[in-house]
């Protein structure tokens, strides 16, 4: 355990993130990362529109909610695909241990965790944009 922590400390932050992306399925993890970048862009755009008091901010909030949900669904889809791959891989061996199964399950949970993180970010962004959005005059 101590050796693993020392190796991670020597590897650096971005090396560790790269390893987790590879373990979680590079294609799905990159799609979720692109959705996260789109969420950051929409948050910045929403703040800009709120300062201008532009009514397009409502559309930006709806789009931000939609892509957050899309990231969560992508994560669950990635988990299911990775789980099938892991179970196929483990079934090809005769003497599979519970440790092998646990390691495989850890890898399958990474896309769901990342998708949930992006979902939480976009939901928090929605709260912020609804808070700074100008009120309609009645």
pLDDT in tens, 85-114: 888 888 888 888 888 888 888 888 999 999
- Residue 93's pLDDT is 81
Per-residue pLDDT, 32: 93
The whole-angstrom separation of Cα 80 and Cα 84 is: 6
- In sequence order, what are the residues at sequence separation of 6 or more whose Cβ sits closer than 8 angstroms to the Cβ of residue 116? 72, 75
Model pLDDT, residue 1: 53
Integer Cα distance of 15 and 13 in angstroms: 5
Check residue 137 and give its pLDDT.
37
Residue 115 has pLDDT above 90, yes or no: yes
- Per the model's pLDDT, the better-predicted residue between 29 and 8 turns out to be 29
Number of Cβ atoms within 10 Å of the Cβ of 118: 26
**pLDDT, tens digit (0-9, with 9 covering 90-100), for 44-92:** 999 999 999 888 899 999 999 999 999 999 999 999 999 998 888 888 8
Assign 136 a pLDDT band (cuts: 50, 70, 90). low
Contacts with 69 (C-beta within 8 Å, 6 or more apart), sequence order = 119
* pTM exceeds 0.85 for this model: no
């Amino acid at each position: 355990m101590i050796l693993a922590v020392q190796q991670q400390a020597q590897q650096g932050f971005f090396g560790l993130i790269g390893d987790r992306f590879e373990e979680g399925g590079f294609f799905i993890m990159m799609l979720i990362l692109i959705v996260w970048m789109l969420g950051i862009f929409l948050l910045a755009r929403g703040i800009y529109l709120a300062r201008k008091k532009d009514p397009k901010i409502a559309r930006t909030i709806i789009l931000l909610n939609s892509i957050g949900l899309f990231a969560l669904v992508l994560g669950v889809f990635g988990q299911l695909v990775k789980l099938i791959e892991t179970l196929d891989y483990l079934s090809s061996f005769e003497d599979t241990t519970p440790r092998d199964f646990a390691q495989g399950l850890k890898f399958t949970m990474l896309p769901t965790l990342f998708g949930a993180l992006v979902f939480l970010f976009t939901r928090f962004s929605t709260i912020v944009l609804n808070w700074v959005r100008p009120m309609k005059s009645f």
